[in-house]
Amino acid sequence: MTRLSPLPVLADQSLSGPASALELATQHSADGLSVKLATCGGLRCARQIDAIARVARLATMVSCFIEPALLIAAGLSFAEMARLLKRKESAVKMSLYRLLERLERQLEAKDD
């Protein structure tokens, strides 16, 4: 389906927890995962799903159907935490990349 669609495909009803997230990610069945706290098993499972999505380079979207305000607030908090984690991962990757470049230049200078 993802290969045929000109638009990104987000797994929604097929995502019910970390196990289904792993299956969707390994089969490349979607471009992203729609995380619903009420159906995925709560915050702990949502964090696991987000980790699976990040490793598989899938987008994530936190969504809800008709949940109480407290659960929606938890979902918003989770979405913000996931966004911050992604930003920190990018910063760490850039720092490591710069460090590797610097080490490579130093090694080349020693060889000269």
Q: What is the DSSP letter of 33?
A: E
Q: Does residue 2 belong to any structural domain of this protein?
A: no
Q: Does residue 100 belong to any structural domain of this protein?
A: no
With 0.75 as the threshold, say if the pTM is over it.
no
Between residues 68 and 40, the one the model is more confident about: 40
Q: Does residue 99 belong to any structural domain of this protein?
A: no
| pLDDT surpassing 80 at residue 45 | yes
The whole-chain average pLDDT of the chain stands at 83
| pLDDT surpassing 70 at residue 112 | no
pLDDT (0 to 100) of residue 92: 67
Tell me the CATH number at 35. 3.20.20.120
Q: Does residue 35 belong to any structural domain of this protein?
A: yes
| pLDDT surpassing 80 at residue 68 | no
> How far apart (Å, rounded) are the C-alpha atoms in residues 46 and 67?
16
| pLDDT surpassing 90 at residue 58 | yes
Which is nearest to 30 in space by CA: 67, 64, 4? Answer: 4
Q: What is the DSSP letter of 60?
A: E
Q: Does residue 72 belong to any structural domain of this protein?
A: yes
For the stretch 85-107, pLDDT in tens is 777 777 766 776 777 778 778 77
Q: Does residue 104 belong to any structural domain of this protein?
A: no
**Domain count for the chain:** 1
Q: Does residue 94 belong to any structural domain of this protein?
A: no
For the stretch 69-78, pLDDT in tens is 777 788 878 8
Q: Which domain holds residue 49?
A: 10-87
> How far apart (Å, rounded) are the C-alpha atoms in residues 105 and 56?
32
pLDDT (0 to 100) of residue 53: 92
Q: Does residue 48 belong to any structural domain of this protein?
A: yes
